[in-house]
Structure 1
Amino acid sequence: MSRLSSAFSWQFLAWLGIDHFAMNGGTMPLLWSVSLPLFKELGIDASRQQLYTTMMTSPFALKPFVGAASDLFPIRGYNKRYLALCSILVGCLGSSAMLAIYHSGSASIAISNGPRAVEGLADMIVISFFAMSLEVAILDVLAEGTFSGIMRRHPESGSSIISYRTAVGCFGAIVTKCYVGPLSDAGNFHAIFWIAFALSIAPLWPTFSGWLPEKKRSADEDGMSRICPGVMFHGGLYRKKKMPFIAIAASGLAAPIVSAVTTYSDLGVGLICSGFILLALAVLTYAVFPCSFFRITLGLMFGTLCQVRTNSALSYFYTADRDCLPNGPQFSYTFFITATGIVGSMMHFCAVIIYQNFLSSWKFRNSLIFSIIIRSFASVVDLVLVMRWNIMLGVPDKLLFFMGHATFENLVIILQSITLSSIYAKIAPPSMETAGFGRLRKISYSAGIGTFCYIITNVLGSGIIMWSGITTVGKDCKFDDLPYLIVVYQILVPLAVGIPSALFIPNVLQSEHLIEWEKENWYEDESDNGDQTPDSEDETNFDGQVLLRAN
């Protein structure tokens, strides 16, 4: 906090804390946690549930599109404030819709009315969750666009801001996990959605009050024009960097389209489309951006793609009832979501402390390779539980799950997450023209591609679960092939592909620049003067410091 206070204002730190507590630590863990019991209550299998959760999280791949729209279309002079307020409205509408459509007995009514009624209710849930996730994604990219610029000008701050927001998010996740499990066991989903509504509205006042620092734009600026009352268009910026905007828009819109195709049309067609889109994004990145940026982005792409997700099958295995899996762990939601979730979030806190005190002084490449190796071997605990070897050794399921999944796996996952977040923030280039422009687009572009790759791994994992013949619902479940999925896709593939992909990341300290943008000569304005010049006599710039213009 001492290091942060020298580079960031208390208003921005407070806004970031409220946002990450309510959104990344509240809404998203709530949606991830409640989707399992909610869809299981509707009789939806693991493969389909994973597609639904992929659709729910696809707004995070819209970050590049949101960043580009924010740069091009200031609302009432602000690139961020009113876009953030609009996202809060969308999130509130999504949580309000859940309050309206889902009550006690909604699932049984839908099941009694047949498969089409179940599918219709599931579709409404996915749309509502999509809206709530969209709020989280937009506020997240606005925060990233702000602190990435400050990190670039204050490299001595290292990854402190990443550790700060991660810690706040972990604290929010602990609070969230405390109530989701017991309420899910009780079938009281309506209470959960009331809490979701409160979380959606939490960032409203700090955002409206301007705690998210930015420079107010004016229609008198060069290249800026007014297209309708309250909305401006930065035509000069668009004309000078048309191709980057096309690449950014393509990367942002790809994931929701692919998610919709795979969820509501055909899984195979969706995977084929994903491959072509991914190749096109790689070509666009190579053609539009500097080689150093392309090389790092390529490494991040491969590093994400190698971690194929089969998490839904594991979740169904751990929470299968006696009729489905007589010899299974049969964890309750209170244990699986709340008890292990709280322990896992506490491990996230420990991971933040460990990273900040030890790994933050490592080089990026070494930190990434270390986290890949440890994360792969952490999956051995899942293998032992699925094979039931722990029963032969006399080790209870809950004890081993606490020691492995809830503690060790969560610890290494957050270590890798902080490293990746720092890399995404570090490769954001300086502004192309004036204050604030460029940062939001570039960090969101790389993170958006990373999210698109993550969505592909979810879609592919859903297909693998379905094609493997695993049965996760009903009275005769079948998990025979689950151990093979763990060994291949959670241990071997990440090691074989993830470690070589980390070699694409420059082997520099985390307090150093990953890309020397001044040497790349890619953007027109190589100075930071625009970052320091406010548009009003009392204006807050990206550093969150108040500057008084001398007339």
Structure 2
Amino acid sequence: MAESSAEAYYEPVKGDEDDDDEYVLPDDAGFTDYLLYPLRSGENFFARFTKNFGWRFAIQITVMYLLVKGLMMSVLGLVKLSYCKKTLKIDGSACQTMMVISSTPWAIKGAIGVLADAYPLFGYHKSSYILVSAVIGSIGLFGLATFPVTSAAFAAILLFSVNLEIATSDLLCEGKYAELMQSKPKTGSTMVSYVWGCFQIGSLIAAMFVGPVADHYDPKVLFWILLPLAVSIIVPTSLGYLADERVSPEKEGIDMELIKTYPYIVLFCVIMAVVAVGNAAIDIFFFEEHFWQMVYAISCSVLLSILAFLWLPRQLAMCNFYMFMASVLYLNISGAQDFWFTADEQCVPGGPAFDYTYYNTYTSIVGAFTGWVGVLIFQNFMSGWTFRTLFWVTTILQCIASAS
């Protein structure tokens, strides 16, 4: 890993220079000006981004949110249906259980964050954890691509390792760009728009080829395509583009002061991680026993909700509980639903019988374009809104969309 150099990876900006004007059309704009407006405004946006955060950090964020979270995570989400049906030959219920197990790393991000803050691995709070998780994720993808996997539980474990890379890298890159946003508040919306813009581009690229590949080939071939994407985050991170400075020798080791300052928050994050891993273990060893899966999930949800109100600041506990209830009440039957929409005539007479090109590619392309519309709306009209207003407006829109 590259040591910190004298050259800053993102230069400090004096005065109000970080609030450069966005590109606007000239007063006497002609047809060519309107035609080139998307190109010129995009060029202006990227110039402002690199000026305030540096080209190295821009590369780090681009690799993370275009290739890793955008492209790789989108392919994983799209390939699950064809992989379950064509390769593993399991039903919708088993496929959904497999995806719950594999997504466990997203539920332990709190513990990962605590660990990264409390213990600088090899002297770094973020970079080393990203590199280790990238190696683990790459090994998981290699196994998915090469091993003759027939067990849904084993496939879930390999997919768990891939999601561990994405979740860890996402969390620690988020932590770094949130730090920069705080130091440059006037550019906050620029960072958010850039991150989500990269993600939407990656999602669009994934949508274009996953469906046709799944229709004509073994879906396992897609894991070979993902392998270099998993490795890609290693390059900018090892070169120091995350700007994660090495801690001084006296600060190496466990930061007991942090743990003593926030004991209940740390303990809550650890318990939540243990519960999440326990849920994955229950799903693996009781793969077909949905009753016991439900009992465990409900019991742990009640426990965590009570502990949140006992140990966390009340505002944070209320926010967490609201988002938890919103997720619980937003019923997800995608596993069974996906199988029904793509079932053949013999399985579902008179059914839609969509192929993967239509179900994965065409619908996802529409989703990617609407996501881009959302990014443009946010950057141009909502970037100055308060978080509270953004939260309730987007929540209402989600409720309307799910009810339609």
TM > 0.5 fold call:
yes
Query: Structure 1 CA distance, aligned partners of 2:62 and 2:273?
Result: 26
1:358 is paired with a residue whose SS is helix
Query: Structure 1 CA distance, aligned partners of 2:132 and 2:193?
Result: 28
Query: Structure 2 CA distance, aligned partners of 1:289 and 1:10?
Result: 38
Q: 1:262 is matched with which residue: 280, 283, 286?
A: 283
1:330 is paired with a residue whose SS is coil
Query: Structure 1 CA distance, aligned partners of 2:225 and 2:341?
Result: 26
User: Between Structure 1 and Structure 2, how many residues are aligned?
Assistant: 356
| Corresponding residue for residue 316 of structure 1 | 339
- CA 1:374–1:240 in structure 2 vs 1: closer, same or farther (change >3 Å)? closer
**Residue 145 (str. 1) matches residue 175 (str. 2):** yes
Query: Structure 1 CA distance, aligned partners of 2:193 and 2:296?
Result: 36
| 1:304 alignment partner AA | S
Query: Structure 2 CA distance, aligned partners of 1:43 and 1:29?
Result: 22
**Residue 167 (str. 1) matches residue 197 (str. 2):** yes
- CA 1:284–1:160 in structure 2 vs 1: closer, same or farther (change >3 Å)? farther
- CA 1:292–1:372 in structure 2 vs 1: closer, same or farther (change >3 Å)? closer
Measure how far apart 1:215 and its partner are: 2.9
Query: Structure 1 CA distance, aligned partners of 2:98 and 2:380?
Result: 38
Q: 1:95 is matched with which residue: 141, 164, 167?
A: 141
Query: Structure 2 CA distance, aligned partners of 1:13 and 1:379?
Result: 35
Q: 1:14 is matched with which residue: 44, 50, 59?
A: 59
- The TM-score with structure 2 as length reference comes to 0.81
Query: Structure 2 CA distance, aligned partners of 1:283 and 1:148?
Result: 29
**Residue 38 (str. 1) matches residue 61 (str. 2):** no
Measure how far apart 1:160 and its partner are: 3.1
Report if the CA contact (8 A) 2:85-2:91 is conserved: yes
Query: Structure 2 CA distance, aligned partners of 1:215 and 1:290?
Result: 31
Query: Structure 2 CA distance, aligned partners of 1:247 and 1:73?
Result: 18
Unaligned runs of 5+ in 2: 1-44
| Corresponding residue for residue 42 of structure 2 | none
Q: 1:360 is matched with which residue: 358, 378, 383?
A: 383
Query: Structure 2 CA distance, aligned partners of 1:329 and 1:57?
Result: 29
Query: Structure 2 CA distance, aligned partners of 1:305 and 1:6?
Result: 42
Report if the CA contact (8 A) 1:91-1:200 is conserved: yes
Measure how far apart 1:171 and its partner are: 0.7
| Corresponding residue for residue 19 of structure 2 | none
Query: Structure 2 CA distance, aligned partners of 1:304 and 1:125?
Result: 25
Unaligned runs of 5+ in 1: 107-117, 225-231, 382-551
Query: Structure 2 CA distance, aligned partners of 1:260 and 1:27?
Result: 25
RMSD in angstroms over aligned alpha carbons? 2.2
Measure how far apart 1:208 and its partner are: 0.2
Measure how far apart 1:305 and its partner are: 2.2
Deviations, residues 499-538 of structure 1 (Å, cap 9, x unaligned): xxxxxxxxxxxxxxxxxxxxxxxxxxxxxxxxxxxxxxxx
Query: Structure 1 CA distance, aligned partners of 2:275 and 2:60?
Result: 30
1:52-451, aligned counterparts within 5 Å? 52-102=98-148, 118=150, 121-221=151-251, 224=252, 232-265=253-286, 266-379=289-402
1:211 is paired with a residue whose SS is coil
- The TM-score with structure 1 as length reference comes to 0.61
Query: Structure 2 CA distance, aligned partners of 1:49 and 1:38?
Result: 9
- CA 1:218–1:366 in structure 2 vs 1: closer, same or farther (change >3 Å)? closer
- CA 1:239–1:379 in structure 2 vs 1: closer, same or farther (change >3 Å)? closer
Greater share of helix: 2
Deviations, residues 471-516 of structure 1 (Å, cap 9, x unaligned): xxxxxxxxxxxxxxxxxxxxxxxxxxxxxxxxxxxxxxxxxxxxxx
Measure how far apart 1:124 and its partner are: 2.3
Query: Structure 2 CA distance, aligned partners of 1:94 and 1:142?
Result: 20
Measure how far apart 1:34 and its partner are: 1.1
Report if the CA contact (8 A) 1:262-1:268 is conserved: no
Measure how far apart 1:6 and its partner are: 6.1
Measure how far apart 1:350 and its partner are: 1.3
Q: What percent identity do the matched residue pairs reach?
A: 26
- CA 1:6–1:281 in structure 2 vs 1: closer, same or farther (change >3 Å)? farther
1:188 is paired with a residue whose SS is coil
Report if the CA contact (8 A) 2:95-2:152 is conserved: no
